[in-house]
Amino acid sequence: MDFQLTDDQKALRSGVRERLAARFGRDALRAAVDEGPPRLDPALWRELGEAGFFALRLPEAEGGVGLGLPEAVLVFEEAGRVLLPGPLIATHLAAGAVAGAATGETVVTAVDGGLVEWLEAADTVRGDATGAEPLASVDPLTPLHRVPAPPARDLQAGRDGVVRLLTSLLTAAEQLGSAARTCELAVQHARTREQFGQPIGAFQAVKHLCAQMLVRTEVARAAVYAAAVTADPVDVAAARLLADEAAVRGARDCLQVHGGMGFTWESDVHLHLKRAWVRTYRAGGATESEEILSGDLSAAIA
């Protein structure tokens, strides 16, 4: 029993990190934010496809990379760190089922609850997007549409259930990456910004904000990696809840540590916060996770 990454997993993570730094570094992120209405770069999407981002878990016999959920979690964590835009999870989950998804030639999005991300950029929409109305999305890099609520049915069952489970897990991985990143940003700033003749990180009030960011991140990391191994719905719900919290509160605290600079458009902090907010709505969000977790307690009784 060991959470230690294998050498292959470490190599995968550093490979993805390098590739994303080269292809979607800070300049690219800021350019994407400032270029006006968000659009998906088809070249980037195909490159992600070539790198195996979408075909990662597809069996090798079907042209995939043949890896598992732990590897997918590591990759999506990296995507979350750099705020990589696009319907990444929907396309990843469509690999093998929708032609061209695995290679990144087809952009796939999915209706999730009352929302669809990246509707206009998508070549294929899974689910019924009839009557979709655009929202003025809070996240500058995630266009959103509202769709009328679907008729009630059992969302945990069958293929829907699997998609929800994996959407939740990979969302948790993205949130984890964002949480770790905002913790780093806060610590970097706290070490260098000086007030009252010392780095602000020497003040305990600041120090303790940073310490709690790390604690939330590491607790979430243990939950997310474990859920990636077990794929158990209760483990996934726990991972999701803790990762959502780590990302949202991490971004908030990071903003606080940055002071007025944190409130500016120029800082990246708000981009992490806004994306984290968008992600919290996926696959039923906190309400669904909490009900799954309390259902688990109750099931132990029955």
152 versus 300: smaller Cβ distance to another protein: 300
Shortest separation between residue 208's beta carbon and another protein, angstroms: 4
Q: How many residues does the chain have?
A: 302
5 versus 28: smaller Cβ distance to another protein: 5
Shortest separation between residue 113's beta carbon and another protein, angstroms: 18
Residue 240 near residue 284 (C-beta atoms within 8 A): no
**Residues 116, 228, 271, 273: which binds another protein (CB under 8 A)?**
228
Q: How far apart are CA 226 and CA 240, in angstroms?
A: 12
Our finding on whether 172 is near another protein (CB under 8 A) is no
Our finding on whether 297 is near another protein (CB under 8 A) is yes
Single-letter code of the amino acid located at 167: T
107 versus 242: smaller Cβ distance to another protein: 242
Q: How far apart are CA 183 and CA 236, in angstroms?
A: 23
Q: How far apart are CA 134 and CA 46, in angstroms?
A: 26
**Residues 37, 61, 136, 198: which binds another protein (CB under 8 A)?**
198
- Give Cα 250 to chain centroid, integer Å: 14
Pairing mode, strands 144-146 and 124-126: unpaired
Element (H, E) at 134: strand 133-135
Site string for another protein, 242-261 (x = CB under 8 A): x-------------------
Q: How far apart are CA 216 and CA 224, in angstroms?
A: 12
Site string for another protein, 38-77 (x = CB under 8 A): --------------------------------x-------
**Residues 115, 241, 269, 283: which binds another protein (CB under 8 A)?**
241
| Residue 120 CB neighbours (<10 A) | 14
Rg (CA), the chain: 19
**Residues 3, 26, 39, 59: which binds another protein (CB under 8 A)?**
3
**Residues 234, 267, 277, 281: which binds another protein (CB under 8 A)?**
234
Which residue is it, tokens 């997918």?
A: 72
- Give Cα 22 to chain centroid, integer Å: 20
- Interface positions with another protein (CB under 8 A): 1-6, 9, 70, 183, 187, 190-191, 198-199, 201-204, 206-208, 210-212, 214-215, 218-220, 222-223, 225-226, 228-230, 234-235, 237-239, 241-242, 287, 289-298, 300-301
